[in-house]
Chain A
Amino acid sequence: MFGKKQTPAKKQLALVIDLNVCVGCHACVTSCKEWNTSGSAGPLPDENPYGADPKGVFFNRVQTFECGTYPNTETVHFPKSCLHCEDPPCVPVCPTGASYKREEDGIVLVDYDKCIGCKYCSWSCPYGAREFDEVQGVMKKCTLCVDRIYDTSLDPKLRKPACVLACPTSARIFGDIKDPQSEASIAIAENSGFQLMPEWGTNPANHYLPRRKTRITLHEDELVRADNPLKVEGEPPKVPLTSPTIDDASNW
């Protein structure tokens, strides 16, 4: 009612995840957990990690879906983390202002020192991107490795989210989707990048690239060597080592 509409950020950092490439290896999950549990914001707890019902906080999960009906099925590995929506529904509902969207790069963050742990923001996220830390009593979510991407002590090539660096198939692209020349924007534009659940008007910054079939049409004549019209197979004639070469200098 009194809510101020967020002005769209000039810069919007995001991930573009290629579902055509993801093999579901969970390397992004483990590297995310490793980086984000080791930082100054405190660990991402694992409760009862070796027990019957382990429970833990992760910023990133890889889910798996089966599409189609057997035997015509397709397995889709689906990495899911905070989508850093351009109009994040989780931000205005926060009573303390702990949840906020950064003006400068569009990253949605939680200030753990302000969060009272009411969990209201998680109710206002349709993607289930937020996970509650029972130990610290605060809501946690993907930070897009904000403590890493601006770290000038790192090699510029390493100033990317941990999940992106870990992906062995390069299924994760990191960049500014407001910059049309960025790798992320080009990937979205050229490969029909899409947003999750666009019907809610959240305008997620993270995009996904769809499954794509790569097919080549080969014609019969393309299977025949055009430079061998007589179809004579075998070793090409050996040139005697004593015969002259083209330039009289090099060897056969």
Chain B
Amino acid sequence: MRPAFSVLFLTTLIGIGQGLLVALSVGQWIETIGWAPVDPNGNFIAYGAVVAVVFLGLGLFASFFHLANPQRAWRAATRWRTSWLSREVLLLPVVMGLGLVYALIQYFNVQPALVTFANGESVTLGLVVGTVAALAALLLFVVTGMIYACVKFIREWASAWTVINFMIMGLASGSAVAAICANLEGGVLARFYLFAALVLTVVALATRSYQIWLNSRLALKSTLKTAIGQHHQQIRQISQGFMGSSFNNKEFSAPGGRDAVRGTTVAFLFFAFLLPAALMIVALGHGGLVVLASAAAIQYLGLLVERWAFFAQGQHVQNLYYQGKA
């Protein structure tokens, strides 16, 4: 499939935003149950949620460039009963809205205690809204992943691992940004987020590698025999019906072909996972913001390459009809 840059930016940017929201909520829970001291200035979560909303907004902005008629984009919210794409169109603004409310509650410290525990800590409004935002963000990972995983005609995508990888890579990159936010605001959770980002990056390396391995062993479901219904062992295409090109051989093939997929796969395994993981280990020891920020930046660029390779690797069944011409 031809990778569209609007979708590469959309899926990677909202991945960071969603991962960041989840990280913030988890951090707030950790403070609440007393595993970490409560942040003295408390604004870290508010600023972090704003950063998350900015990432989600940038992703939403990028998505409009994918549409040929963006003025009708509102119509895309109507078919949520059947279309995962429509569900994403609905859920993304909901997550953004929840993130914004979360930020406002934390910033203005509107924290009526809903439940108070014996140890003196209480479930506050911010904690509840943050948890709902995080759950919505996790659901959005599923919805975004399912857009691709439900396309059964692209066997490389039609797998639960598409959803799992979208989620783990988003959580990893979001945790890295959470570590930066916590570091900037002097939050006590910076090291926790950094460690979480490291673990998630290593897990993402494993699960994404597993999907690459699965995709290298895919069996064809259709052949030219069923595509044109001729029971011959040897079928060769002589003409596609045109001498130039068409939508069918532009949209469904990636520039560079298999070599480009192989090259970008090696590149993203290094730049999205291995190098950031190494830098995160350095940052854990030495605690420098510059190392941490470069790890997050390199990981983001690596994830862009990863998304490019993900799209380019998809081999659509319709390509059976567009294999060659004499």
Contact = CB atoms under 8 A, between A and B. Distances in A.
Contacts of B226: 196-199
B76 A126 contact: no
Nearest to B81: A2
Interface in A183-212: 194-200, 208, 210-211
A64 B86 contact: no
A62 B241 contact: yes
Contact of B228 (A62, A78, A91, A96): A78
Contacts of A26: 241
B222 A197 contact: yes
B229 A196 contact: yes
Contacts of B246: 55-58, 61, 131
A65 B238 contact: yes
B252 to A, nearest CB: 7
Contacts of A104: none
A128 to B, nearest CB: 3
B79 A64 contact: no
Interface stretch (A113-121, A145-153, A170-178, A216-224): A113-121
A29 B241 contact: yes
Contacts of B76: 95-96, 116, 118
Interface in B92-106: none
A64 B239 contact: yes
Contact of A116 (B68, B82, B153, B244): B68
A120 B154 CA distance: 12
B35 interface: no
B321 A3 contact: no
B316 interface: yes
A242 to B, nearest CB: 67
B229 A137 contact: no
Given A68-B234, A122-B251, A95 B229 contact: no
Interface of B: 1, 66-70, 72-73, 75-79, 81-86, 89, 147, 150-154, 221-222, 224, 226-230, 232, 234-248, 250-252, 316-319, 321-322
28 contacts: A4-B81, A29-B241, A54-B243, A55-B246, A55-B250, A57-B247, A64-B239, A65-B224, A65-B238, A67-B232, A80-B321, A95-B78, A95-B89, A118-B67, A119-B251, A123-B151, A124-B151, A126-B222, A126-B318, A128-B248, A128-B322, A131-B248, A136-B68, A137-B68, A197-B222, A208-B229, A210-B229, A210-B230
